[in-house]
Amino acid sequence: MDFLKNKFTLFGLIVFTISILIIVITLFSSNNNNSANNEEYASSGGILLGDPNAPVTIVKFTDYQCPSCASFTLGPGKQIFREYVDTGKANFIYRNYPFIGDESFQAAEAALCASDQDRLKDYDEIIYVNWNGQNKGTYSEKNLITMAELLQLNVNSFSECMSSDKHIKNIQKDIDDGKKLGIKSTPSVLIDGELILGTKSYGDYRVIIERALGN
């Protein structure tokens, strides 16, 4: 009887172990599928900087009136560019998610107009350097044009772009895709489809990027 009892106990343990393994594998597969779906949505628009064939894709959803977005861009964001984008290990996609006010949308248009002159990264940074609160007139059209002048952009082309509303559909696509991804705040960063909400330390982002690189 003891032999049979032990045999059934062993059998039960084996079944339990196999069940746990199946659950873990299913969850892992589900997470991978979610990341893949996220990456597809996240990278289906926006402006890409860096090597399009880089092994890792980093996507930033931002609102230009968001102080945490300024912290990311002027802090960890710069380090990510230096260590990963500039070295070809990752590419970086800018996407807009303006929700704080009208100035958020206007600043997003201005950034895309700067992108037409291949100066998105510089303009992205100068917007945040000049951040001074929300809906206070900081990102009036006049001030946004002044920022373009400081970067020595072609101001006539920039002004025409701002007046044309040519990028409104692009911004709306960013917003729509962001909602599909479940984004409700900024900054929201995706690293190969893994969604990271809020601003983290550079070290936190580095761990995730290195993992995506297989290191």
C-alpha neighbours within 13 Å on the C-beta side of residue 134: 15
Number of other CB atoms surrounding residue 59 within 10 Å: 28
Q: In 3D, which of 95, 113, 98 has the Cα closest to residue 162? A: 113
Sheet holding 188-191: strands in order across?
Answer: 47-49, 90-96, 56-62, 188-191, 194-197
User: What's the pTM?
Assistant: 0.80
Helix residue ranges per DSSP H, 43-154:
67-74, 76-80, 102-115, 120-129, 141-150
- So what's the pLDDT on residue 30? 40
- So what's the pLDDT on residue 39? 52
Structure tokens at 186: 């900024």
- Domains in the chain, CATH or no CATH each: 43-212 (3.40.30.10)
- So what's the pLDDT on residue 31? 43
Q: Which parts of the chain register pLDDT below 70?
A: 1-44
- So what's the pLDDT on residue 4? 44
Cα 69 from Cα 75, distance rounded (Å): 10
Cα 140 from Cα 159, distance rounded (Å): 12
The number of angstroms, rounded, from the C-alpha of 24 to the middle of its chain's C-alpha atoms is: 28
- So what's the pLDDT on residue 1? 52
Structure tokens at 154: 């072609």
**Burial group, residue 188, by CB count within 10 angstroms (0-12, 13-18, 19+):** buried
